[in-house]
């Protein structure tokens, strides 16, 4: 069994072929879909998808750093209401973090939103799912300050260096989310990933984004989690079944969920 630990299957890109997309995922062995929220506009679609696949699609709640604009505090108020007065259970606070690829001018409010949501995760005893793009130093600085025994999570779509990977592992409660980038020729992480113990890794797609080779540049989907697992099997020189077993167990431990393959 495989778990796609980070996928936006509630996104409008999947409206036309949702059932077929899910069927392809299950055919590939992907049984569970962990869905990070983006912003307030997506909450309804997120919940509808969770209700459509109640045993297999697991929602998170958070405000994506690219959605941190002038109205971010109002958005956070809505996020807070969903987290603390839940009519449903969320598996994590996410996706949250810092993104300086599109807009460096919002760094201060991105950090503020990130820190607020980290504190909520600690109170709720939920892991955080971190988005970081062109902002590793800034993101690590925040976690360096706020990390304690209550904080766990995953650095989703890890694209950093071996040294940054070790920095994250040294926090004690964090995993590295490995997705399609591990299959890219210029992705770099395939050159050192096998030096990292498998116990620190979970699989993801970030669908509909960042499709792995040979689908790079096209729409990503959860079935391609298997391609990521196969690339890791090549890197570690292990059977793909061992990659699946280890990363699924890591997901269960991090998100404190059984994610049964019998449902």
CATH number at residue 188: 3.20.20.140
123 domain residue, yes or no? yes
Averaged pLDDT for residues 131-158: 97
262 confidence band (pLDDT: 50, 70, 90): low
What's the predicted TM-score (pTM) here?
A: 0.97
| pLDDT at 220 > cutoff 70 | yes
Mean pLDDT in the chain? Answer: 97
Among residues 174, 166, 120, 100, the alpha carbon closest in space to that of 143 is found at: 174
**pLDDT tens profile 186-216:** 889 999 999 999 999 999 999 999 999 999 9
pLDDT at 232: 98
The residue range of the domain holding 66 is 2-255
225 domain residue, yes or no? yes
The two three-digit tokens of residue 250, written as one number: 């890591």
pLDDT at 111: 98
pLDDT at 261: 75
pLDDT at 86: 76
d(CA 96, CA 73): 14
How many residues can be counted in the chain?
Answer: 263
For the chain, the domain total comes to 1
261 domain residue, yes or no? no
């Amino acid at each position: 069994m495989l778990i796609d630990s980070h996928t936006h299957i509630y996104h409008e890109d999947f409206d036309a072929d949702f059932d077929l997309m899910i069927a392809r995922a299950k055919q590939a062995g992907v049984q569970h879909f962990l869905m990070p929220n983006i912003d307030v506009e997506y909450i309804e679609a997120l919940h509808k998808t969770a209700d459509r696949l109640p045993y297999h699609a697991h929602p998170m709640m958070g405000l994506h750093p690219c959605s941190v604009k002038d109205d971010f505090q109002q958005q956070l108020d809505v996020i807070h209401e969903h987290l603390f007065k839940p009519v449903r259970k969320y598996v994590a606070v996410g996706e949250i973090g810092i993104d300086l690829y599109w807009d460096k001018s919002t760094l201060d409010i991105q950090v503020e939103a990130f820190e607020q949501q980290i504190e909520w995760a600690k109170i709720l005893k939920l892991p955080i799912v971190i988005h970081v793009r062109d902002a590793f130093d800034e993101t690590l600085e925040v976690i360096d300050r706020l990390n304690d025994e209550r904080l766990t999570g995953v650095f989703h779509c890890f694209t950093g260096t071996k040294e940054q990977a070790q920095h994250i592992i040294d926090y004690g409660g964090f995993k590295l989310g490995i997705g399609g980038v591990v299959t890219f020729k210029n992705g770099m992480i395939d050159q050192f990933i096998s030096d990292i113990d498998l116990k620190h890794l979970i699989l993801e797609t970030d669908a509909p984004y960042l499709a792995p080779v040979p689908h790079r540049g096209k729409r990503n989907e959860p079935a391609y989690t298997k391609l990521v697992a196969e690339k890791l099997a090549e890197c570690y020189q292990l059977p793909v079944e061992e990659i699946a077993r280890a990363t699924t167990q890591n997901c269960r431990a991090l998100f404190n969920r059984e994610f049964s393959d019998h449902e």
